[in-house]
Amino acid sequence: MASPETLNADSVVKLESLRMEYPFFSTAQILYMKNLQNINDNRYEEQIKLAATYSPDRGRLKELLNNPELVKAKDQNIDSGSNTTTKQKSYIELIDEFIREEPSISKPDEKRLAEINIPKQDEASIYDVATETLAKIYLKQGDKSKAIKIYKQLILKFPEKSSYFAAQIEKIKKENINN
């Protein structure tokens, strides 16, 4: 990665075998693509598409293809830390401050919680989302009365399937009698 211009016909074979052995190794995919570009291989066009899918940063991939010297210079600046922008510094300072202060969320006041009036969910709103799956869930939970109510709602929603839902209700009632 440090000097992709040194890739040649000898290294293409090694990179190809590495790429085949570890297909999700993005660096190998990218180096193989760069190697094919260096030697003007006809497989380059196909490999560039594959390398783009594995690349974590397509902008850097484009820079590597078009101007490898720029990429090398950026990497050296990042390594030396001289390319850190003021915005990046402010993020770093913010994170450091957060770590130093060790903030925590306080527990809610019990008196205030008691004062908050949370309305109970009425049964009508439950049946607004009536589905056959919900009825089956209620059955698995052992709440046969809610399952029957859901099936009754489904009869109203889907009259063309009313006989099927009525049969389900009868089946639940028979099982209830047998148990």
> How does pLDDT run across 132-163, given as a tens digit for each residue?
999 999 999 999 999 999 999 999 999 999 99
pLDDT at 47 over 70: yes
Q: Which residue has the higher pLDDT, 64 or 37?
A: 37
Q: What is the pTM of this model?
A: 0.39
Chain segment 71-122, per-residue pLDDT in tens:
555 555 555 554 555 666 677 888 888 888 888 888 877 777 777 766 666 5
Which residue has 């390319």 as its token pair?
A: 83
Cβ atoms of residues 61 and 52 within 8 Å: yes
Length of the chain: 179
Query: What pLDDT does 162 receive?
Result: 92
Contacts of 153 (CB under 8 A, 6+ apart): 127, 130
Contacts of 61 (CB under 8 A, 6+ apart): 30, 51, 52, 55
Distance CA 176, CA 178 (A): 6
